[in-house]
């Protein structure tokens, strides 16, 4: 709701923080219920790391002005207030020395040669790896099931 152009300007920052943390908690519940699947543990660790850094920094994912400077023009960055929300996304602009668990924040960047720069966290890396693992192994199980069904 806070990414959609029709609603993002209407959602107060406090609601964004609550929604973001609630969604992380619901995803962790999903992981617990599906803990028997390969890769879900890694996915859950990534979600827990993101929830930890978000919860200890006021409910939004911290991003430093230095990292943000790679994502938007410097002129636009100068109009943003440190401690305020970074655009309409899930991030809050914080100085690294004012960030709890800064090493878990959105501090990594996609390579410069990619056309669309993106900041991401260690938790995001683990979430992606876990999700890929889940999809790769579940697809294999489905193929095996289908092959066994075709044989009989």
User: Whose structure tokens read 């890396």?
Assistant: 125
Q: What is the pLDDT of residues 89-142, one digit of tens each?
A: 889 999 999 999 999 999 999 998 998 999 999 999 999 999 999 999 886 655
Structural domain count, the chain: 1
State yes or no: pLDDT of 85 exceeds 90: no
Could you list the beta-strand ranges (E) of the chain: 61-63, 91-93, 108-109, 119-120
The residue segments making up the domain with residue 127 are 13-151
1 domain residue, yes or no = no
Q: Is residue 77 part of a domain?
A: yes
Q: What residue has token string 């929830």?
A: 51
For residues 10 and 83, which has the higher predicted lDDT (pLDDT)?
83
Residue 7 lies in a domain: no
In a domain, 35, yes or no: yes
Domain assignment of residue 8, yes or no: no
Calpha distance 22→19 (Å, rounded): 5
Pick the more confident residue, 53 or 147. Answer: 53
Decide if 38 is inside a domain.
Answer: yes
pLDDT of res. 24: 96
| 8 A C-beta contact, residue 31 and residue 40 | yes
According to the model, what pLDDT value does residue 144 have?
A: 57
Task: Give the pLDDT band (50/70/90) at residue 150.
Answer: low
Amino acid 62: pLDDT = 97
Q: Note whether residue 60 is domain-resident.
A: yes
- Is 4 a member of any domain? no
Give pTM, 2 decimals: 0.85
């Amino acid at each position: 709701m806070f990414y959609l152009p029709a609603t993002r300007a209407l959602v107060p920052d406090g609601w964004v923080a609550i929604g973001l943390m609630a969604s992380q908690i619901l995803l962790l519940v999903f992981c617990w219920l599906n803990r028997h699947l390969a890769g879900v543990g890694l996915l859950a660790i990534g979600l827990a790391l993101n929830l930890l850094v978000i919860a200890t920094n006021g409910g939004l994912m911290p991003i430093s002005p230095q990292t943000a400077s790679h994502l938007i023009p410097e002129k636009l960055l100068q109009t943003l207030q440190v401690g305020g929300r970074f655009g309409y996304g899930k991030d809050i602009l914080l100085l690294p020395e004012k960030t709890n668990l800064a090493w878990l924040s959105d501090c990594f960047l996609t390579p410069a040669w990619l056309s669309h720069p993106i900041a991401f966290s260690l938790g995001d890396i683990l979430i992606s790896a876990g999700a890929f693992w889940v999809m790769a192994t579940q697809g294999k199980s489905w193929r095996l099931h289908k092959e066994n069904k075709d044989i009989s």
